[in-house]
Amino acid sequence: MPSDPPSRSPELPGWYHRLLDKGTIKPKDFDEDLSEINNDISSDDENCSHDGSEYDYYYDLKVQRENRKEELKIKAKQGVENQKKEAMRPEQQMSSRVKEVVNKIKKQEKKPISECEDMFVRGKLFGLYSADFVKHGFTGGSVDNLPRNVQFYHYVDVLYGPMSPSFRRPWYDDEELEGHVTIDGVDHHFEFPEFTRRGGLKKHTVKTSKGEKLVFQFLDSDHLILRTSRKLAFANPRPGESAAPKTFVFYGIAEGEATGTPDMWLYDVSDDDGYGYGY
């Protein structure tokens, strides 16, 4: 503390008066009211000029306080970056599982379609994973925990199982498919007028009820890829939004995964179901 008595002017800010008689000042002593100026808006003393040696101690503390503020900002930023890296890890792991399915399909592209298994997605919930979404959209706040998924609605064929080949069209293969995508806390409803039951790399484009574009790749019963616009993906303001790609790629995995054909279809069914219809 300087030899001249420090000023006790009521014009000086509250944080200064709080520390005035404390003696030795440590960096953490400034933390109590730093939250009040997180926005870097000028405080009540910021635009004031004080002359005289009695104000030397005030200006000395002010410099220390500004240094402490910058130190905490850097630590906070590093903390958010570390949290982001941790949040990206499972996104990358889940996405890799879907990419493995893509590679498997590429190796089987020449396989006759008649040998391909039917795909069943009705009534399923797919989690959506994207490391890019977290990379550019992570905030460290509650919006990071908002769900990301796509839900396909149930239809009659889910309840009654596969029909014989003679009955499949149009009731089975080309039945409309309806559902919604949930990203960033917003639901986006869609409806495919026709939907094929064969999985693969083919891209299927559909628009939401609000005219937003969704591009699906239905790989198999438990894995898909979804592409959306940045505008659709970021319903909430995000710090890295301007640097984010215009199109986000989400990798979808069915809840429970490896479900394939619904369990109800795995039981042996007699040709005579008691009603004279059978399978």
Q: What percent of the chain has pLDDT over 70?
A: 73
pLDDT computed for residue 124 by the predictor: 92
The answer to whether residue 149 sits within a structural domain is yes
**pLDDT exceeds 50 at position 156:** no
pLDDT computed for residue 24 by the predictor: 83
Among 223, 2, 39, 31, which residue's Cα sits nearest to residue 128? 223
Q: Distances from the Cα of 262 to the Cαs of 28, 34, 94, 222, 257, in angstroms?
A: 60, 57, 22, 11, 11
The answer to whether residue 4 sits within a structural domain is no
Q: Residue 271 — very low, low, confident or very high, per pLDDT cuts 50/70/90?
A: very low
Q: Phi first, then psi: what are they for 163, rounded to 5°?
A: -95, 170
The answer to whether residue 155 sits within a structural domain is yes
- Cβ-Cβ contacts under 8 Å for 192 (sequence gap 6 or more): 176, 177, 178, 204, 206
The answer to whether residue 219 sits within a structural domain is yes
pLDDT computed for residue 263 by the predictor: 42
Q: Residue 166 — very low, low, confident or very high, per pLDDT cuts 50/70/90?
A: very low
Per the DSSP assignment, residues forming a β-bridge with 159 are none
pLDDT: which is higher, 212 or 268:
212
User: Which domain range does residue 228 map to?
Assistant: 82-257
Question: According to DSSP H, which parts of the chain are helical?
Answer: 14-19, 56-107, 131-137, 156-160, 230-233
The mean pLDDT value for 36-50 works out to 51
pLDDT: which is higher, 96 or 78:
96
The answer to whether residue 91 sits within a structural domain is yes
**Overall number of domains in the chain:** 1
Per the DSSP assignment, residues forming a β-bridge with 224 are 218, 252
**pLDDT exceeds 90 at position 40:** no
Q: Measured in whole angstroms, how far is the alpha carbon of residue 92 from the centre of its chain?
A: 12
The answer to whether residue 21 sits within a structural domain is no
pLDDT computed for residue 26 by the predictor: 84
Q: 163-167, 204-208, 209-213 — which is least confidently predicted?
A: 163-167
The answer to whether residue 202 sits within a structural domain is yes
Q: 153-157, 178-182, 224-228, 241-245 — which is least confidently predicted?
A: 153-157
The answer to whether residue 122 sits within a structural domain is yes
